[in-house]
């Protein structure tokens, strides 16, 4: 049988656009002589719809659109993801479902069994888990139809005090009792640079274990902070990847099930490097956020530092140079090369820019505050005033000209509170908020791989906020190579001070870093949406109480 894998980009709640994209893909699949076309999880409404699922009319809109799509499926079958009502008298109101469409109608509905409730996932908030396992029969093919997490049942509990697997139910083991010919998994699996190999291993190991071919369909594009890389694939019954779709790009690909019997050689996949995947994910995230919010242009403060330089490059690549503007906002403490380096980068990218010095404004602030501050010594207050002046100017530009302000803070800074509320933490979207500083440097090296785009002086000079004389980040923070390793162990791997110190780090230093992370939770609650590229980004996937004493 010829099966088309339709890897598309959806827009949450945009039913007209989503349905049009799905119908167009069905027609293309028909022209490719496909008998079945497969779409991703909750494709009709986009993933994740969150509390929109609590609105009855939203769910009914989903079902109405699926009926429209079913009418197109006369001589070709389709698998569509969407919510369905739970008609039982007990349990949650909805199921997360896969609809099998053929002959102009809904032939069968399969519900998701394993509902992830960790990190950014909270599906049990909305859905009832499936407990009845039936295969889908289509022509001569018996399909074990699964939805995303249904194949992730073997993953371990990611806490050092817990043992064993996360789930007690194993959908494919139940479905295997009906002797299926193939496994189809529809998914909405967000990108994480730390879990790419784990994700691939899920499908290859399942195929090999059950001696069944696996077809996996993921979505692409971005939904607020979540980025989806696609990477849909066909795996033969021996666990070899026979075909894989592009990363971060919509695509429809035809798979012949006769090639999944174990006799075809695996495809030679040239995998992008980890840092290239991060780069492409961030570009996708910016592009998706702006297009789906009907934003067209961006502004950012270009400081002469590496974070704003990387953000400018990514924005220019996502939106086009003509749609990005930079403001250079030097203070009396800014070095001369901070301005010249910034100008050089903007000109290299073809990005427009303006220079507005903040020194005179800063003097006026100090003059007005001097009767209140009296003879108190200079401290972080004056540093923050400069940062907030810059924010006011950037937001004024945003308001007047309609450009969305991009935040340029990195994850290392956000973790330890090295940023000013209503100052450099302002913005409509945080581009690097899930990128540690050491990876920011790797991004710079990747961007400059073929030619010098970011001036080398920006990359090689010591990081500095330039808010007081001769200031350097290392005055108050450990070197980023050390800081980032400690942060990753604490934030991503949930390790304690003692456990991290056993890895070779000074225990007093680890304690200081973790104290900074914990005491700055209140700041992170007020940041813009952060593009997520790891398995533990700040934001909805990391829920820490602000007022906790821990």
The alpha carbon of residue 136 and the mean position of all alpha carbons in its chain are separated, in whole angstroms, by: 32
DSSP letters, 88-113, are SSSS-SEEEEEEEEETTEEEEEEE--
Residue 233, beta-bridge partner list: 216, 244
CA quadruple 28, 32, 38, 39: dihedral sign: negative
Structure token pair of residue 287 = 């592009």
- Inter-residue contact 35 to 1 (CB < 8 Å): yes
Catalytic site residue from 35, 41, 65, 383: 41
- Neighbouring residues of 2: CB distance < 8 A, sequence distance ≥ 6: 32, 33, 34, 35, 36, 254, 255, 256, 257
Nearest to 296 by CA among 404, 372, 395: 404
CA distance 22 to 20: 5
The distance in angstroms from the start CA to the end CA of the chain is 58
Q: What are phi and psi of 38, to 5 degrees?
A: -120, 130
Q: Where are the alpha helices (DSSP H) in 453-525?
A: 456-460, 480-491, 497-501, 507-519, 521-524
Burial (CB < 10 A; 0-12, 13-18, 19+), residue 33, is exposed
SS3 489: helix
Catalytic residue, candidates 35, 148, 253, 287: 148
Q: How far is CA 58 from the centre of its chain?
A: 24
Sign of CA dihedral 474, 475, 477, 483: positive
Given 62, 112, 413, 523, which residue is catalytic? 112
The Cα 1–Cα 261 span in angstroms is 12
Give yes or no: 62 in active site.
Answer: no
Q: Is 41 tagged catalytic?
A: yes
- Per the annotation, the verdict on 148 as an active-site residue is yes
3-state secondary structure of 205: helix
**Catalytic residue numbers, as ranges:** 41, 112, 148
């Amino acid at each position: 049988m010829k099966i088309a894998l339709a890897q598309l980009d959806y827009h949450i709640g945009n039913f007209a656009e989503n349905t049009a994209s799905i119908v167009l893909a069905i027609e293309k699949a028909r022209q490719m002589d496909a008998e079945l076309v497969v779409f991703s999880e909750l494709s009709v409404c986009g993933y994740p719809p969150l509390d929109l699922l609590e609105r009855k009319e939203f769910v009914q809109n989903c079902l109405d659109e699926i009926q429209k799509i079913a009418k197109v499926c006369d001589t070709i079958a389709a698998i569509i993801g969407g919510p369905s009502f739970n008609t039982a008298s007990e349990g949650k109101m909805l199921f997360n479902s896969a609809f099998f469409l053929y002959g102009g109608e809904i032939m069968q509905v399969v519900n998701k069994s394993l509902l992830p409730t960790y990190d950014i996932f909270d599906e049990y908030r909305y859905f009832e888990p499936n407990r009845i396992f039936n295969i889908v029969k289509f022509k001569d093919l018996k399909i074990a139809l699964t939805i995303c997490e249904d194949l992730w049942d073997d993953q371990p509990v990611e806490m050092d005090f817990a043992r064993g697997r996360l789930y007690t139910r194993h959908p494919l083991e139940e479905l295997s009792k009906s002797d299926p010919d193939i496994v189809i998994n529809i998914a909405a699996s967000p990108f994480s640079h730390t879990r790419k190999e784990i994700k691939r291993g899920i499908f290859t190991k399942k195929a090999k274990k059950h001696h069944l071919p696996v077809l996996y369909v993921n979505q692409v594009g971005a939904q607020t902070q979540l980025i989806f890389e696609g990477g849909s694939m066909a795996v033969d019954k021996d666990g070899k990847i026979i075909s894989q779709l592009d990363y971060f790009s919509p695509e429809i690909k035809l798979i012949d099930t006769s090639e999944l019997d174990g006799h075809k050689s695996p495809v030679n996949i040239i995998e992008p490097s980890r840092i290239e995947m991060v780069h492409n994910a961030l570009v996708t995230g910016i592009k998706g956020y702006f297009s789906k919010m009907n934003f067209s242009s961006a502004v950012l403060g270009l400081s002469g530092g590496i974070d704003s330089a990387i953000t400018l490059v990514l924005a220019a690549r996502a939106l086009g140079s003509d749609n990005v503007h930079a403001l250079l906002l030097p203070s009396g403490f800014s070095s001369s090369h901070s301005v010249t380096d910034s100008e050089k980068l903007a000109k290299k990218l073809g990005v427009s820019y303006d220079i507005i010095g903040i020194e005179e404004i800063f003097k006026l602030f100090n003059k007005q505050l001097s009767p209140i501050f009296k003879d108190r010594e200079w401290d972080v207050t004056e540093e923050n005033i400069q940062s907030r002046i810059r924010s006011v100017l950037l937001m004024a530009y945003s308001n007047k000209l309609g450009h969305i302000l991009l935040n340029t803070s990195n994850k290392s800074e956000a973790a330890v509170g090295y940023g000013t509320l209503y100052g450099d933490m302002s913005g409509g979207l945080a581009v690097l908020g899930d990128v540690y500083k050491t990876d920011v440097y790797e991004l710079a090296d990747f961007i400059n791989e073929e030619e010098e785009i970011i001036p080398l002086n920006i990359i090689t000079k010591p990081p500095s906020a330039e808010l007081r004389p001769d200031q350097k980040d290392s005055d108050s923070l450990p070197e980023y190579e050390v800081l980032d390793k400690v942060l990753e162990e604490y934030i991503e791997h949930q390790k304690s001070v003692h456990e991290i110190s056993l890895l070779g780090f000074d225990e007093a230093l680890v304690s200081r870093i973790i104290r900074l992370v914990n005491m700055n939770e209140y700041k992170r609650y007020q940041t813009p949406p952060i593009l997520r590229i790891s398995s533990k980004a700040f934001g909805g996937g990391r829920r820490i109480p602000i007022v906790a004493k821990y």
